[in-house]
Amino acid sequence: MTNRYFIIGCIAAVSLLSACSKTFLEQSNPNAIPTAVYYQTEGDIALAVNGVYQSLRTGDGIGENSGLYTDERSDDAGRNDNQSNAGEPFQFNDFSLLPSNTYLKTHWLALFQTITRCNQVLSNIDNITFGSADTKAQYSAETKFIRALIYFHLVRQWGDVPLVTKQLTTLEEVTANTFREKKEKVYEQIVADLKDALNSPLPNQQTGANKGRVSKAAANALLGQVYLTMATTLDAGSRTQNLNNAKTYLGAAWDMRSFSALKDIPYTDVFDVNKKSTCPELIFQIVNKQGDINYSSSIAANNQAKGEKINSLKPSSSVGGNVKLDLVKEYEEGDPRKDFSVKFANDATVKDWYITKFRDTSAVAGTNGYGGNDWILIRYADVALMLAEVNMYLGDNTTAITYLDMVRERAGMPLYNVVKADPNYSSKFPTLKLAILHERRVELAFEHHRWFDLLRFFTIDELVTYIHAKNQADYGKAKISNFGLKDLYYPIPFDEYKLDPVKMYQNPYYQ
């Protein structure tokens, strides 16, 4: 019964205990506060919304250390250690994932825990009297945005998933919601939540102390990405309409920017811990506090390899954030983003490439590695490249190239119509589509976009061909040959599937 609560992330202990009868589990927790009693004031809702934001921080969900579920699933990063932790982390990189993988289940539960927190806020907010209707509307909009964001991750990783949009308080309600909803319905809810956020009094951009909170620019950008994903992965009959919707909302996000040209913002400023609250390229980020043991960033220290000092003052004894040679070789000659993002570690126990994109060597971060890096979820270079992508799909290559060149120009790279005459470039990226995919890879490396980009740019059959064409020597110990049709989605975690094998049916090839 406890697992039924976990499947939809329902962690309200009082509700769970009350569903049991005539056992020692009937004992109530004297420190627990029932949900119906907790939400009494506007301040209670404010704290609950903060709790929703807080849940985004974990590496088990979509926080900075969640690369296991994204970048390590792609051809950008991974690990060559197939022994640690029973070899379970290696399964993601090796395309040998089992439904019983405990990391997979932890990821599922973390995502649904955020969904649960969102649903608790939205199910109780109308019972509270607010001093300002705008405050209430903003809290609701922020929460719906985050629920949409998490469901967007879930539906891309698993396809059909349980769709829960209200607080569940009884075992009967949990049981009734323990089934996989079709992915099309999940996308409908994502779109509805984001449109609600856009029809709210949220500001176009968040500034100052509100950096890290949801804005209309973030909602437009995410909704545009959702429509772009729907256009390329769902029913072809709706493709053109979804592409036009993607263009509309991505364009709206772009028009909300507070800068003139992307080239005016140095690439390194995007990741500078001293400019994270003022850099106009950042649209939505998870805020970390430099030097704080609980709310600091650990990504710089975690990525640093033994013998290296560029990321953090914290000494490393590991290989750090491993980078696939396949990515290293994709950078064009002279691309400054390569030197900023990756480095070769010469220590005898490493002798491999590691991630250097996230750095904090300040005295405040210190030898404990309590960094100040914010985790960037949406930024304007991403929006520009999605606008390039959607215009390319709509047949407007001229506009697509304009957006592509914005990113290349900022990086100091030759513009597309110049570089495509270079045989080295054109042989690797013979089409505009592959050129855009390449630019996304080198611009957004290690920001957890690559796997989702691959799923959007290729059908699963095309992706199998794309991955199998890679050089095994550039991929490490993980076997490229393991990649197949099964890898379109993750398997449903075994403990969730066994709750109801019919309603929680397993994904193909994992039965």
- Determine the average pLDDT of the residues in 112-124: 98
How far apart, in whole angstroms, are the C-alpha atoms of residue 144 and residue 193? 5
pLDDT number for residue 38: 80
pLDDT number for residue 482: 98
In degrees rounded to 5, what are phi and psi of residue 303? -80, -20
* Residue 1 confidence class, pLDDT cut points 50, 70, 90: very low
Residue 368 lies in a domain: yes
Residue 273 lies in a domain: no
Residues 197 and 299 in one domain: no
* Residue 36 confidence class, pLDDT cut points 50, 70, 90: low
Q: Say whether pLDDT at 475 is over 80.
A: yes
pLDDT number for residue 26: 40
pLDDT number for residue 28: 52
Residues 4 and 144 in one domain: yes
Q: Say whether pLDDT at 37 is over 50.
A: yes
pLDDT number for residue 511: 84
pLDDT number for residue 34: 63
Residues 173 and 318 in one domain: no
87 torsion bin: left (phi>0), alpha (psi -120 to 50), beta (else): left
Q: Say whether pLDDT at 2 is over 70.
A: no
Q: What six digits make up the tokens of 230?
A: 């729907």
pLDDT number for residue 27: 46
- Determine the average pLDDT of the residues in 28-36: 57
Of the listed ranges 157-161, 173-177, 362-366, 414-418, the least confidently predicted one is 173-177
Contact 445, 327 (CB under 8 A): yes
Q: Say whether pLDDT at 13 is over 90.
A: no
In degrees rounded to 5, what are phi and psi of residue 416? -60, -45
pLDDT number for residue 31: 54
Residues 47 and 172 in one domain: yes
- The number of distinct structural domains making up the chain is 2
How far apart, in whole angstroms, are the C-alpha atoms of residue 259 and residue 389? 22
323, 346, 373: which is the final residue of a domain?
Answer: 373
**According to DSSP H, which parts of 237-328 are helical?**
239-255, 299-303, 325-328
Q: Say whether pLDDT at 291 is over 90.
A: yes
Query: What does 170-182 look like in DSSP terms, one character per residue?
Result: SHHHHHHT-SPBP
Residues 151 and 3 in one domain: yes
Contacts of residue 478, Cβ cutoff 8 Å, sequence gap at least 6:
78, 79, 80, 90, 93, 94, 95
Residues 191 and 98 in one domain: yes
Residue 505 lies in a domain: yes
Range of the domain at 329: 288-373
373, 393, 413: which is the final residue of a domain?
Answer: 373
pLDDT number for residue 32: 56
Residue 153 lies in a domain: yes
Can you give the three-state secondary structure of 8-36, one letter per residue?
Answer: CCCCCHHHHHHCCCCCHHHCCCCCCCCHH
352, 373, 394: which is the final residue of a domain?
Answer: 373
Q: How far is C-alpha 68 from the chain's CA centre? A: 11
Query: What does 94-136 look like in DSSP terms, one character per residue?
Result: HT---TT-HHHHHHHHHHHHHHHHHHHHHHHGGGS--S-HHHH
* Residue 35 confidence class, pLDDT cut points 50, 70, 90: low
How far apart, in whole angstroms, are the C-alpha atoms of residue 10 and residue 17? 12
Q: What is the pLDDT of residues 227-255, one digit of tens each?
A: 999 999 999 999 999 999 999 999 999 99
How far apart, in whole angstroms, are the C-alpha atoms of residue 416 and residue 404? 8
How far apart, in whole angstroms, are the C-alpha atoms of residue 93 and residue 67? 11
Residue 230 lies in a domain: no
Residue 60 lies in a domain: yes
CA nearest to 449, candidates 457, 439, 458, 441: 441
